[in-house]
Amino acid sequence: MNEGRDRLVERITALKARRKAIILAHNYQLGEIQDIADFVGDSLELSQRAADSQAEVIIFCGVHFMAETAAILCPDKVVLLSHVHAGCPMADMVTAEALRQKKAEHPGATVVCYVNSSAEVKAESDVCCTSANALDLVRGLDSTEILFVPDKYLGHYVAAQTGKQMVLWPGYCPTHTRIQAADIARLKSQHPQAEVMVHPECRPDVIELADFVLSTGGMCRHARATAAREIIVGTEIGLVYRLRKENPEKVFIPISEQAICPTMKLTRLENVLWCLEEMSPRVEVPQETRLRAKAAVDKMLGG
């Protein structure tokens, strides 16, 4: 660490205590943010942490829908997003209005929304899921027809695994589409002993070549538990920082160095400090939307 960074971290730590704040960071955040966070995790783990936290202020280092989910769960806490422009392009691929129209075409369908969606879309949905629990949640549904938004690739994977009839929204993650099957084939020939783990936001032909399809939190657990020494990783590059930090004896090979989520990389230490100083940008959800969205999110958390 250099002196400037040390000083920033000191100021963040002091102000965080004064504000009774907690820093939650997603696994794709820059190393400098992961290193100062109180908790680093996947979307499900971060929602659980937010819901259980006793802090008065939550600084969410991630993207907007994650902070918004915390605001849905914790209306009495101040939820701050680390960078005002940190959105998720996939979440923006479905609006509540467009979803209402689709629901009218499928009146009997159960609507399952991926947590990568706005509060308004969650409010239009019956159940919310993350990549960690999508399979279990969908398996547990009685419905014969499921309308799944917005990720067509996660939806395709869930439909294939569960055998459920699913109508898929045409959304996708621009970062995960950079991960290509041809690169896995090349890396597997170079590292024949390596395991391959990928995120379910990847394309179907990529998922086909994987040994394990996991959320980012699932990848962290698997990396610790496996006897494999080499692991080929198909997700956003930020996770590799955490995998290497926690497993220095193992080798992690990203499928694509280009799998960078630009909005996840906006947050720097300065942004966290400014957030604490200015108590902004704050993320709030109007009460009527919040309560309807919370019903779907509670099911995601097992409630």
Contacting residues toward ligand 13P, per CB under 6 A: 27, 42-43, 116, 130-131, 173, 199, 201, 215-216, 236
In terms of phi and psi (left: phi > 0; alpha: psi -120 to 50; beta: otherwise), the region of 4 is alpha
Can you say whether residue 63 is alpha, beta or left, with left for phi > 0 and alpha for psi between -120 and 50 degrees? beta
- Which residue among 34, 116, 215, 256 contacts ligand SF4 (CB under 6 A)? 116
Closest distance between ligand SF4 and the C-beta of residue 130, in Å? 11
Share of the chain residues as helix, strand and coil, in percent rounded to the nearest 5: 45, 15, 35
Residue 175 as a binder of ligand SF4 (CB under 6 A): the answer is yes
Residue 27 interaction partner, one of ligand SF4, ligand 13P, none, beta carbon < 5-8 Å per kind: ligand 13P
CB 151 within 8 A of CB 113: no
Nearest distance from residue 266's CB to ligand 13P, in Å? 14
Shortest approach of ligand SF4 to residue 65 CB, angstroms? 8
Distance CA 131, CA 195 (A): 20
Q: Residue 255 CB, nearest distance to ligand 13P (Å)?
A: 14
Of 247-286, binders to ligand SF4 (CB under 6 A) are: 261, 264
Q: Which of 88, 123, 207, 214 binds ligand SF4 (CB under 6 A)?
A: 88
Q: Does 162 contact ligand SF4 by CB under 6 A?
A: no
Q: Which residues bind ligand SF4 (CB under 6 A)?
A: 63, 88-90, 116, 173, 175-176, 201, 236, 261, 264
